[in-house]
Amino acid sequence: MTGQTNFDRQRLRLPAPLVACAFALAVVAGQSFAAAAIAPDLKQEQEIQFADLNRQLKERAPIQSRAAQTLRRDALILDSDRDPVDIVIRRTGALLADLKVNVPGRRIGDFESRLAKLKERAEQTDTADTAARHCLYEDVCVLRRQIAFTNPLLNFDKIVFIKRHPSRFDHMCDQYYGFNAVPGGGLFVIEKPFSNKPALRDLLARAVCERGRLQGRQLAPGAFLAPDLSSDGKTVVFAYTEAEQDPNPKAKTHEWNERSTFHIFKINTDGTGLTQLTDGKVNDFDPCWLPDGRIAFISERRGGYIRCSGDRPVTTYTLHRMDADGRNIACLSYHETNEWQPSVNNDGMIVYTRWDYVDRDSDIAHHAWLTTPDGRDARAFHGNYPVDRTLRPWMEMNIRAIPGSRKYVATAAPHHGQAYGSLVLLDPAVEDDNAMSQLKRLTPEVAFPESEKGRWIFATAWPLNEDYYLCAYDPAAKTHGLYLADSFGNRELIYRDPEIGCLNPIPLRPRSALPVVPAPTATAGTDAEGIVTVVNVYDSQKSWPKDAKIAALRVVQLLPKTTWKANVPRVGVASETNARAVLGTVPVESDGSARFYAPTRKPIYFQALDERGMAVQSMRSITYLQPGESLTCRGCHEARHRTPPPDGSAPLAVRREPSRIQPDTDGSNPFNYPRLVQPVLDRHCVACHSQNRKTPKLAGTPSGSSGWSQSYASLAAKYGFYFNVGNGVIKDPIHGGATSTPGRFGARASKLFQVLDQGHHDVKLSAEDMHRITLWLDCNSDFFGAYENIEAQGRGEIVKASLE
């Protein structure tokens, strides 16, 4: 599970020169703490970028191959680019042309003539004269910086950000465990960042915690994450950990305790009021101010582990919410694997990254999702799964809505790595083609990480508009600085600390409040039931088989994994599969509509059943309802950009009371193969099969090291229907793939059902017995129904899941 280590490990060192400077200034100025003067080393920066421009020229062909997917042509390397001078002149010209349009008449005239002169010089200077060309290059850089900093979007004079060493562990999940954090860094403000006298202020320099376990103490040493600024510009929430590590330096993990986990803190931007908001033996991080004044954040509190870690526990963390004072912590997302980095979009909705790999490839679907601020109606912007893993980035992180726009900026990031990569623009208005149709590359000189083996160059973009953003950037992918970047390919250094990376730049200023999305009346926080309504099951992106008649929906509860080791227990023949429980069925009306009471606060999914009770199609994802939520879908995986057709009358299901889920047979909830399937085999199969040595063994006797039975070992792999979970399974056309096709799922598509349906010797199964078999086949041919007490389960005892 470990990825490439793309970071140079920095030895832990306090930024001594900085501290000394600040202290000296403080003494001199007689103030309690003061901003230390910082001046970027522009000469050094020019060299760094010069080297990278030469690299881009060498990688001309792959960069140009991305042209169709790139937002602005200027960010590419063009045929006319011979050396870095050509590139910076061209890109500076693009910047100037854009600013001219946005700011007519403002100081542009001077810049135009100066750039024109430089262009003239460039035309007269031979590319072979490298010294003169380099001189030119430096002059263009100086002009470009002046131009860039006149951008009217830079209407702020402070930036708040954190300094942070990369995590010790290169994995999208582990990177945010406190014990993997490298102590160092802090919470800082740059004042006058675009002037030639910027200054750095350490917000935590004198701050002591006002309450709680760390009362009276400063937040040092330790590590920091993910600041967010309130809309009035007065308060910053952030995550901090004491970063206690396991004494064994080779350990990949550590016990979860208060000192080895991240917690959320709050501080005023004047440095007062440092308060700890959360504590415990769990990681809480990625805090995000909500329009109603509460705070969304990511937390492990709900419990569970991912399903694909073989060598160390990897806990799941999902979206939660609390009041501004840390009280009333509530889980918003009952998803079964990890989520990251909530932010609020221009409609007041929460945008975040969600990893979704139910019955599918584990490494390629961590994309943008959307939910209400109270956790209702979680939906994906675009499909999770491309047909081909190389067709688009595997992960979209740090997703942020662009002010005054309907688009988003995000970091294309790696699964086996940390949240750095290449920046993309996401446009939900465009129909998704399961590839790049909604995405445009903002930084085409950096390939997507992992899917294109790109490096960890960019992170945490804060958009000013669709073309300009603050971000973290380092062409060497080692020690990221804060930059003003644009989609034309210009990168202007704001600040860099040679000792430690910078991240999460946020303009420190009030901004207009975002809309508050109202919560439905009365039921939040209660145990009120939810209601699911489907307008027309047949409204689907993929066609249903001819004559398909959907008679019912099956509701299946997916169980989050409660043991950390992959395939321990081996729940079924499918690798890394979830345990699940069949809650039952609800009827579908003749017009395809359904309406039923559904359980809340649990991950559930639905299958569309034919008249024989077999699944024609199944979700390979989950949804969940909040108490009292009414969740309404148009159809079963309807096309995302379609409205409900204005056909005819109201759905039949809406005109009657919601159905109640009818529980299914014994052995379906909790799910248990020995209880569900074995009795059928005992009744109809064992007699013949035990006599005939050439036939598969179908007895219920335990067999093998997984705790399965003989019959399961004989039937599941060869005759069952299942999807494997794992890295790369999308390529397997039978037990993998991207999406399911109606009619080619579950029992209907399994060999076992074929055998029985065609007539197998003189076997006559009752409807109930056949149902037990097909139900098993529709449930990914699992064996166990819970992750604990597998011996008891093997004996056919009822074992309830420990986490729902």
Which residue, 454 or 628, has its beta carbon nearer to another protein?
628
Q: Is 547 exposed, middle or buried (0-12, 13-18, 19+ CB in 10 A)?
A: exposed
Which residue, 515 or 704, has its beta carbon nearer to another protein?
515
Q: What are phi and psi of 26, to 5 degrees?
A: -65, -45
Closest CB 631 distance from another protein, rounded Å? 9
End-to-end CA distance of the chain: 26
Q: Which of residues 584-643 bind another protein (CB under 8 A)?
A: 630, 632, 634, 639-643
Which residue, 51 or 516, has its beta carbon nearer to another protein?
516
Instruction: Please enumerate in sequence order all residues whose Cβ is within 8 A of that of 375, keeping only pairs 6 or more positions apart, or say none.
Output: 319, 321, 331, 332, 333, 626
Which residue, 132 or 524, has its beta carbon nearer to another protein?
524
The C-alpha atoms of residue 174 and residue 168 are separated, in whole angstroms, by 9
> Smallest Cα–Cα separation from 528: which of 380, 664, 376, 369?
376
Cα-trace Rg, the chain? 29
Binding range to another protein, per CB under 8 A, among 77-85, 439-447, 512-520, 683-691: 512-520
User: Strand ranges (DSSP E) for 464-577?
Assistant: 468-473, 481-486, 491-495, 501-507, 530-534, 552-559
Closest CB 257 distance from another protein, rounded Å? 41
375 within 8 A of 361, measured Cβ to Cβ: no
Closest CB 520 distance from another protein, rounded Å? 8
Neighbours of 238 (CB within 10 A): 27
Closest CB 542 distance from another protein, rounded Å? 6
Binding another protein (rule: CB under 8 A), the pick from 16, 68, 429, 767 is: 429
Query: Is 13 one of the binding residues for another protein (CB under 8 A)?
Result: no
Which residue, 431 or 797, has its beta carbon nearer to another protein?
431
Binding another protein (rule: CB under 8 A), the pick from 249, 646, 733, 759 is: 646
Residue 327, both tokens: 């009280």
Closest CB 324 distance from another protein, rounded Å? 17
Binding another protein (rule: CB under 8 A), the pick from 17, 221, 310, 645 is: 645
Query: Is 293 one of the binding residues for another protein (CB under 8 A)?
Result: no
Query: Is 65 one of the binding residues for another protein (CB under 8 A)?
Result: no
Q: Residue 196: which region, alpha, beta or left (left: phi > 0; alpha: psi -120 to 50)?
A: alpha
Closest CB 351 distance from another protein, rounded Å? 11
Which residue, 276 or 536, has its beta carbon nearer to another protein?
536
The C-alpha atoms of residue 477 and residue 520 are separated, in whole angstroms, by 46
Which residue, 152 or 221, has its beta carbon nearer to another protein?
152
The C-alpha atoms of residue 580 and residue 562 are separated, in whole angstroms, by 12
- 333: β partners: none
Residue written as tokens 């209907």? 748
Which residue, 30 or 646, has its beta carbon nearer to another protein?
646
Residue 281, both tokens: 């033996």
Query: Is 430 one of the binding residues for another protein (CB under 8 A)?
Result: yes
Which residue, 249 or 648, has its beta carbon nearer to another protein?
648
The C-alpha atoms of residue 207 and residue 121 are separated, in whole angstroms, by 53
Question: In Å, how far from its chain's centre is CA 111?
Answer: 42
Binding another protein (rule: CB under 8 A), the pick from 150, 268, 465, 533 is: 533
Binding another protein (rule: CB under 8 A), the pick from 347, 388, 529, 757 is: 347
Binding mask 390-409 for another protein (x = CB under 8 A): --------------x-x---
The C-alpha atoms of residue 717 and residue 470 are separated, in whole angstroms, by 52
The C-alpha atoms of residue 127 and residue 573 are separated, in whole angstroms, by 64
Which residue, 386 or 505, has its beta carbon nearer to another protein?
386
Residue 731, CA distances (Å) to 494, 648, 725, 741 in order: 44, 42, 11, 15
Closest CB 646 distance from another protein, rounded Å? 4
Binding another protein (rule: CB under 8 A), the pick from 258, 433, 452, 804 is: 433
Continuous H helices in 69-213: 84-102, 108-124, 130-148
Closest CB 737 distance from another protein, rounded Å? 13
Closest CB 354 distance from another protein, rounded Å? 17
Query: Is 101 one of the binding residues for another protein (CB under 8 A)?
Result: yes
Q: What are phi and psi of 74, to 5 degrees?
A: -65, -20
> Smallest Cα–Cα separation from 95: which of 42, 31, 143, 159?
143
Count of positions on this chain that bind another protein (CB under 8 A): 45
Closest CB 387 distance from another protein, rounded Å? 10
Closest CB 339 distance from another protein, rounded Å? 20
Q: Which of residues 650-679 bind another protein (CB under 8 A)?
A: 650-651, 654-656
Which residue, 261 or 438, has its beta carbon nearer to another protein?
438
Query: Is 96 one of the binding residues for another protein (CB under 8 A)?
Result: no
Query: Is 106 one of the binding residues for another protein (CB under 8 A)?
Result: no
The C-alpha atoms of residue 410 and residue 423 are separated, in whole angstroms, by 6
* Strand, helix or coil for residue 605: strand
Which residues would be at the binding site for another protein (CB under 8 A)? Answer: 101-102, 347-348, 377, 379, 383, 404, 406, 428-434, 437, 515-518, 533, 535, 541-543, 630, 632, 634, 639-651, 654-656
